[in-house]
Structure 1
Amino acid sequence: MALMILLGALSVALASIGGWPVTALVLRASKSPTHVRSADERGIPLLEAPSGEPRAGAELLRGGLWIGLLERAAVAGCVLAGRPELLALVIALKGLGRYPELKAHEGAAERFLVGTFASILWAVLAGLLGWAAIAFLA
């Protein structure tokens, strides 16, 4: 039993921490934007720029590292628990939490989708590996 718990914990750790460089690599390869462009850079006259627009060069989708770590741990946990339907809840919570940023900033939705898909795929793989190892021992 202790070995199964250890395998589960290792699977969640692999999903959470191991997904960070994988997701960063995929985002870099996709060349998705990383910073907010100014209204002028987007061709919007200054009189039409959205109110409350962040300064140009501000990081797009801040907090993604911590959100990603927690998201991957939750996804792997859902897979290990045999409750893949709970993945919909994890994805919905992330999308709802990011919705204002996704709507307000050009390029945010693309970065969000690419990063989320890479992150979730990695976490599902790690969860499945842990699940298979536990099933093998059972």
Structure 2
Amino acid sequence: MTAVVLALTAVALVLGVVAFALKAGSTLEIVLSGLMLVCVAAAGIVLLAGDGVVGWREAWWNILLLIAGSLAVAGGGPLTTSVLALVDRGNTRSQSTQQAGEVLRGGALIGSLERGAIFASMVAGWPEGVAIVLAIKGLARYPELRAPDQPASVTPQAVAERFIIGTFTSVLWSIACAGVLLSR
């Protein structure tokens, strides 16, 4: 069971890194992100079918910690952009969340830091850290979300939508990656 879980999370990490290198929103990125999600879900099912990580040697658990933490940070970016690309299908240019990314600059870096902090707080057994991370992010982004001087090519609704969808996807992904480690 240990080898299967480690292999599934390692494959998910490789898929996430490859997807990260692709053009945001491309069909291949969406497919790889979906496969990455399937690998993490499969690892979770294997852990739930067994005894979780109870009884694992510490060295194997530490390897899983490293892989899952890397996956939370690196894999969340392609997954989030894939979800946003799927949301954008059929939207006009002014409603596009991709256009809204021009207003919310630094989203990829902020998202990576957010996922790392959420993963760490969950693994450390301090879920209150999620609320702190979200509060800091919300307060820091509030001026951009309510700025009256946004480009005419982007609607305020698209900016808010990108913020909410991106944040939820990112947070849920981090918690799912931490959940693999915390299965008992």
Is TM (by shorter chain) over 0.5? yes
Report the Cα distance in structure 1 between the residues aligned to 2:120 and 2:170, rounded to whole angstroms: 14
Contact 1:78 1:86 (8 Å CA) reproduced: yes
Name 1:19's counterpart in structure 2: 76
TM-score of the two chains, using structure 2 as the length reference: 0.56
Per the alignment, residue 141 of structure 2 pairs with 98
Moved more, 117-126 or 2-11: 2-11
Distance in 1 between residues matched to 2:132 and 2:60, nearest whole Å: 29
**Structure 1 spans left out of the alignment, 5+ residues:** 37-57
The residue matched to 2:99 in structure 1 has which SS? coil
1:36-59 CA distances to partner (integer Å, 9 max, x unpaired)?
5xxxxxxxxxxxxxxxxxxxxx81
SS class of match (1:61): coil
Q: Give deviations 1:15-37, integer Å, cap 9, x for gaps.
A: 1101111101111111242225x
Report if aligned partners of 1:15, 1:123 keep a CA contact under 8 Å in 2. Answer: yes
Indicate the residue corresponding to 1:127 in structure 2: 178
Q: Give the TM-score normalised by structure 1.
A: 0.74
Does 2:76 correspond to 1:33? no
Matched letter for residue 16 of structure 1: V
* Farther-moved stretch of structure 1 (63-72 vs 3-12): 3-12
Paired residues in the alignment total 112
Q: Contact (CA 8 Å) 1:78, 1:84: kept in 2 or not?
A: yes
Q: Which amino acid aligns with 1:87?
A: V
1:109 aligns with one of 155, 160, 166: 160
User: Could you tell me which amino acid in structure 2 is paired with residue 108 of structure 1?
Assistant: V
> Identity of counterpart residues, as a percentage?
43
Structure 1 residue 8 displacement after superposition: 1.7
**8 A Cα contact 1:76 1:123, kept in partner:** yes
Which residue is equivalent to 2:132? Answer: 89
Contact 1:8 1:131 in 2 (8 A): no
Structure 2 Cα separation of the partners of residues 10 and 75 of structure 1: 15
Q: Is the 8 A contact 1:11 1:130 kept in 2?
A: yes
Partner of 1:46: none
Looking at CA atoms only, which structure, 1 or 2, has the larger radius of gyration?
1
| Structure that is richer in helix per residue | 2
